[in-house]
Structure 1
Amino acid sequence: MPDPRGRNGFDGFLRYLAVFFVCVILGMVAANTLFPAASAPTFETVPYSRLHAEIESEHVLEATIEGSKVRAILDNGQRIVATAPDDATLIPRLLRIGAVVTVAEPGIDLLGIVLTWLPALLLAGVMVWIYQRTHGAVARPQSRRPTMRATNVRFDDVAGIDEVKAELSELVDYLKDPSRFAAIGAKIPRGVLLAGSPGVGKTLIARAVAGEAGVPFFAASGAEFVEMFVGVGAKRVRELFAQAKKVAPAIVFIDEIDAVGRRRSASGTGSNDEREQTLNQILVEMDGFEGTGGVIVIAATNRPDVLDPALLRPGRFDRRIDVPLPDLAGRFRILQLYAAKVRLSRLVDLFMVARATPGFSGADLANVMNEAALAAARAGRVAVEPHDLQHAIDRSIMGLARRSLVMSEEERRLTAYHEAGHALTAALLPDSDPIHKATIVPHGSALGMVVRLPERDRISVSRRKLEADLIVAMAGRAAEEIVFGEDAVTAGAAGDIDQATRLVRKMITEWGMDEEIGLVRAVETDHRTGEPIPLGEETRRAIDRRVKEKIARAYEEAKAMLLARRDLLDELSQALLERETIPGQEIMAMVHAPRATSIAA
């Protein structure tokens, strides 16, 4: 097969050769102009009238005529040059006085030629450069061929998603022994879609399938197929499947397939032609005339709702497997896997770490373990201690502490009351999640924070729990108003208001938790385009009014709770000012401690 780079290499050689010759010519012209040879005689440039006078006085011994230039040597040794007009009597007059006359061909004015053609050459060079840039951008994918990637990951290296492993074990059995399935006429799924939140292990489980089956593994990202120039992505898809079919059975893994497999526009306008051509090529390869040829496609996405229906139909992605966040037992097993690579203190209880990390993905847990190891190494310890893991969890939840931020005493006091309002209502409401800790140390963009963690993995959320969360969210602003007055409230509740607004809007429009709007879904999407369907003006006004009413009611309830327990609010805020951070157990003990009551006589 001829080398596809041969033509480009020859063209490049010609370009470099042309540049070389141009540089040589320019160098010669510059050398002759700036540094004339020492041996060359010099002629004094004079007017033609002077030359005419010297001829009439018979002082010219030799004359050289070169075009319009006349170089003359006088009898006193002087050398002169003049530009002569078109005079037919010049040579006869020189011959009449006995001068030696030489007629030479006009020389080539290299400098003039170069200066004349240089703009055109520069323009042509710019056009060639632009062509090479665009042509090279299209040609580059020819050298970026998909290649097999080695994988030594096994199912034992993946924890926390046992149901997903059980579902995919069927693919492993087929890849190991396809004849067993073919004997009874069974067809293995051509494509499997892994859908789940970022970091749950979609890529890892795909590599584990290939590792368990011992088959070639081709991996690509959906973004790699989308280029500026139409047709490049489709060509890459063809190359990817062609290579996989040569070594079938094999696995083709496409990560973030939503980058190329988004729902196509029904109107045919406003779409990306390159992306759609690439998607069409994937559809053809997965269920075309030739078939997949023993190639199983595993794709991963965080947004299955935006994928094109043609991609999800049976015959292409026959199965959709939702990869969930790990539960308590899953987080414990994931931590055990990562702990095997880290030196832990005997005091570390991984089960307690798993209980303290609800909602964490496998990637989050890996980051917690690594941050804890880094903290222990920075402190010079030989093993990771429990407080290192707690520090890593807090950093993952709250962000990096900004102890260098200097706040005034008034700002610290206002922040303490704000967080005390959150903490007090969270401790009093039975449906609220337990408090993990409260702090007025700035973390990230927040000046303070109350962290709540559920005691167990929550599968569904009740209306009582949502309303409790709404009251807790509004309690910070309510505490500011109670203590400092309505005119002194700050913008610190911006995040709380945003959280409350989004929560209430979902309760009304998606979860049917409003008496006036009713058990309807007020947020609809077009099944063809995936775009939201605009609501009517009356419905939008009703939703906005109900959102405002629910938030106002939650705010009044939070304010009433704090006013009824003003002494506890002051006590909590004072403790935060003194200690800056208080564990949740101490807050609960402080709020629910028995208190003496006085009876008026």
Structure 2
Amino acid sequence: MSLFQGFGGDSNKQSAMDYTTFNKEVSQGQIQQVLIDGQVIKGVKTNQSTFETYIPAPDLDLMNYLIKHNVKVEGTAPEETSFLASIFVSWFPMLLLIGVWIFFMRNMQGGGKGGAMSFGKSKAKLMGEDQIKTTFADVAGCDEAKEDVKELVDYLKDATKFQKLGGRIPTGVLLVGPPGTGKTLLAKAIAGEAKVPFFAISGSDFVEMFVGVGASRVRDMFEQAKKSAPCIIFIDEIDAVGRQRGSGVGGGNDEREQTLNQLLVEMDGFEGNEGIIVVAATNRPDVLDAALLRPGRFDRQVVVGLPDVRGREQILNVHMRKVPLADDVEAKILARGTPGFSGADLANLVNEAALFAARSNKRTITKEDFEQARDKILMGSERRSLVMREEDKESTAYHEAGHAIVAKLVPQHHPIHKVTIIPRGRALGVTQFLPEGDQISQNRQELESSIAVAYGGRIAEELIYGKDRVSTGASQDIKQASAIARAMVTEWGFSEKLGPILLTAEANSLRSNTVSHETGKLIDDEVRSFIESNYQRAFKLLTDNLDVLHAMKDALMKYETIDALQVDDLMARVEVRAPAGWGDEKTEPAKETTEPKAAVVEETVKAEETVSEEVVQDEPVVAETEEPVITKADSEQKKEDK
């Protein structure tokens, strides 16, 4: 066994030696050879036994001391460090700083693909030919808009048909319309029908905090589109990047304006983009830059407006074919009862009706579910948990009755659909009107009737309780009536003194005041004149029909909700019929629990033709109604239901 094998042998066979003994044996000549590795000394004695000791502190004279006593001294070779490792150690702080910078830049830029070096890359999502399943069959209620965009589909399928006659397909198509009318859905249907690649991006995806990033993304998006041509680029909410130039804070150096400039060049610049059709959507075309709307860029503007009654029926059929319906549900009837609803509103109507049916554990969606869903959308959710004092409930009933009576008596006002004192949304009560058809414009008589109806609730409270006890519940009514009256004077030219002159600042005008002090005073006087005349008209109508006001209050306190048929009964001063389904739900359980007691009371009434004072004190609601027996049974049933 060699000496080094002895050193590298099992460490357990080496005897431990303290440093003092080591020095003593060196001086005695008992140490033959040592191997020094840092502070560890391994060695061999003259009797060939091994040992190990440790240097407690640096000893500079140890080498001379060992050599002086003829001890063979050896050491270990230092570990070799590679060149790359030394560079890494020296550059590690700088690399750490660069990594931190990249991390923060990725977070600021949304962590897009490619990391911090992909700021200028397009964020448009590419959808293949088979990924889009939407077709024109899924789009309803906008037949004219579909006709306008069908040419795009024909061109993308067979471009030579148009090129033979020198025709050029529009470079861009701008879809304009209110929110929820189906602009994005129509763009998907174009790509689904044409079976071409579809790039989808939002206008806000172009704009970033660094100047030039948006323009770079526009260039990259069109470069990708050229590789996939023919294709469609869809920019949703283009008004986020296409606003008029010069209105920003940064002037010409503003990031949004540079992005818009690049978009203008890509759509119609020196280099043509054949086979690329840009479809954009917005509900604010008035703020778009004029250069963006000119022919050659967005050649065609397609208006996707609110659907008419036939369009609403088609949209309802599209959404209702996905849900189980009862036999009493007809899309035609629902369409007539939802004027002003957009496609998104109708989809929400079907969904809310399905939720109502699910809560009742029904297998199909009934007409009643759609009625409840429509009331929820138009008036808000019922707040039956709201605790109202009896006097507040009565005041609300008079208020809503005032609206309803004036609406029935003034000319050319929308028909009443429902009156309720059940709190819905932020209102304590609601009088709901439904137009008989789609309304495009209003005449002066309709507008003045709306003002009179708006003040009907406040006037009813004033007639019953006096001016000192009029509540704040008419705040929204006053706001609505004042807005109508001011628009009649300043916008619609219904004032005889001022004439048909626009007296309001334009939406884009920088002038804050467009009228003189004298004209402003005359406007206020005319607005007050419209309000005063219709206030007095509503006051007279309610004064002449005070008995109907009390009767309608009683009906609302009893039923909480009355419909158009019951309002007609009240106006005709005949006995009010019960709402549909109200008697079945209220009186049938009462017969099981209170029939004996009700029979005794009925016999007493027939015999004495009066109600005892004790019964009146126990049930004060009975004294306020004309039919105490039925009302008593109803009241007892309500107690038992609670």
> Is residue 2:539 matched to residue 1:559?
yes
**Which of these residues, 416, 426, 450, is aligned with residue 407 of structure 2?**
426
- The residue identity in structure 1 corresponding to 2:549 is L
2:196 aligns to what? 215
Q: CA deviation at 1:545?
A: 3.5
**Which of these residues, 528, 533, 557, is aligned with residue 548 of structure 1?**
528
8 Å Cα contact 1:435/1:585 also seen in 2: no
**Which of these residues, 119, 126, 129, is aligned with residue 147 of structure 1?**
126
CA distance in 1, matches of 2:317, 2:175: 24
- Partner secondary structure for residue 521 of structure 1: coil
CA distance in 2, matches of 1:124, 1:550: 76
- Partner secondary structure for residue 147 of structure 1: strand
8 Å Cα contact 2:398/2:460 also seen in 1: yes
> Is residue 2:284 matched to residue 1:303?
yes
- The residue identity in structure 2 corresponding to 1:534 is N
Deviations 1:253-310 (A, max 9, x none): 1111111111222687578812111211211111111122211111111111111111
- Partner secondary structure for residue 324 of structure 2: coil
2:159 aligns to what? 178
Q: CA deviation at 1:229?
A: 2.0
Q: CA deviation at 1:343?
A: 0.7
1:516 aligns to what? 497
Q: CA deviation at 1:176?
A: 1.4
C-alpha spacing 1:275/1:542, structure 2 compared with 1 (3 Å): farther
Number of aligned residue pairs: 529
CA distance in 1, matches of 2:201, 2:546: 60
* Structure 2: unaligned runs, 5 residues or longer: 1-15, 20-55, 66-91, 110-115, 576-642
- The residue identity in structure 2 corresponding to 1:391 is Q
2:71 aligns to what? none
C-alpha spacing 1:409/1:431, structure 2 compared with 1 (3 Å): same
> Is residue 2:328 matched to residue 1:357?
no
CA distance in 2, matches of 1:445, 1:452: 18
C-alpha spacing 1:247/1:270, structure 2 compared with 1 (3 Å): closer
8 Å Cα contact 1:328/1:457 also seen in 2: yes
CA distance in 2, matches of 1:339, 1:532: 50
- Partner secondary structure for residue 290 of structure 1: coil
TM-score by length of 1: 0.76
1:534 aligns to what? 513
8 Å Cα contact 2:455/2:478 also seen in 1: yes
8 Å Cα contact 1:306/1:530 also seen in 2: no
> Is residue 2:567 matched to residue 1:587?
yes
Q: Structure 2 matches for 1:171-570, cutoff 5 A?
A: 171-265=152-246, 273-525=254-506, 531=510, 534-538=513-517, 539-570=519-550
- The residue identity in structure 2 corresponding to 1:535 is T
What is the alpha-carbon root mean square deviation over aligned residues? 4.4
> Is residue 2:104 matched to residue 1:133?
yes
- Partner secondary structure for residue 357 of structure 1: coil
- Partner secondary structure for residue 198 of structure 1: coil
- Partner secondary structure for residue 367 of structure 1: helix
Q: CA deviation at 1:534?
A: 3.1
Q: CA deviation at 1:357?
A: 0.4
Q: CA deviation at 1:560?
A: 2.0
Deviations 1:331-371 (A, max 9, x none): 11111111111111111122111111011111111111111
8 Å Cα contact 1:157/1:337 also seen in 2: yes
1:158 aligns to what? 139
- Partner secondary structure for residue 318 of structure 2: helix
Identity, % of aligned pairs? 50
C-alpha spacing 1:146/1:373, structure 2 compared with 1 (3 Å): closer
Deviations 1:464-500 (A, max 9, x none): 1111111111111121222122122222111112212
Q: CA deviation at 1:592?
A: 3.7
CA distance in 2, matches of 1:41, 1:469: 110
Q: CA deviation at 1:551?
A: 2.3
- Partner secondary structure for residue 451 of structure 1: strand
- Partner secondary structure for residue 185 of structure 2: helix
Q: CA deviation at 1:542?
A: 3.2
C-alpha spacing 1:414/1:171, structure 2 compared with 1 (3 Å): same
8 Å Cα contact 2:400/2:420 also seen in 1: yes
Deviations 1:116-165 (A, max 9, x none): xxxxx999978973564136636454484542353111112111111111
CA distance in 2, matches of 1:124, 1:214: 48
- Partner secondary structure for residue 328 of structure 2: coil
- The residue identity in structure 1 corresponding to 2:561 is T
- Partner secondary structure for residue 251 of structure 1: strand
2:622 aligns to what? none
8 Å Cα contact 1:523/1:532 also seen in 2: no
* Structure 1: unaligned runs, 5 residues or longer: 1-38, 43-80, 83-90, 96-120, 596-601
Q: CA deviation at 1:392?
A: 0.8
8 Å Cα contact 2:173/2:279 also seen in 1: yes
1:167 aligns to what? 148
8 Å Cα contact 1:525/1:533 also seen in 2: no
Deviations 1:159-209 (A, max 9, x none): 111111111112222111111111111111111111111111111111111
Q: CA deviation at 1:532?
A: 5.8
Query: Whose Rg is larger?
Result: 2
Deviations 1:80-131 (A, max 9, x none): x99xxxxxxxx9xxx9xxxxxxxxxxxxxxxxxxxxxxxxx99997897356
> Is residue 2:561 matched to residue 1:578?
no
TM-score by length of 2: 0.72
Answer with 293-302 or 556-565: which moved more.
Answer: 556-565
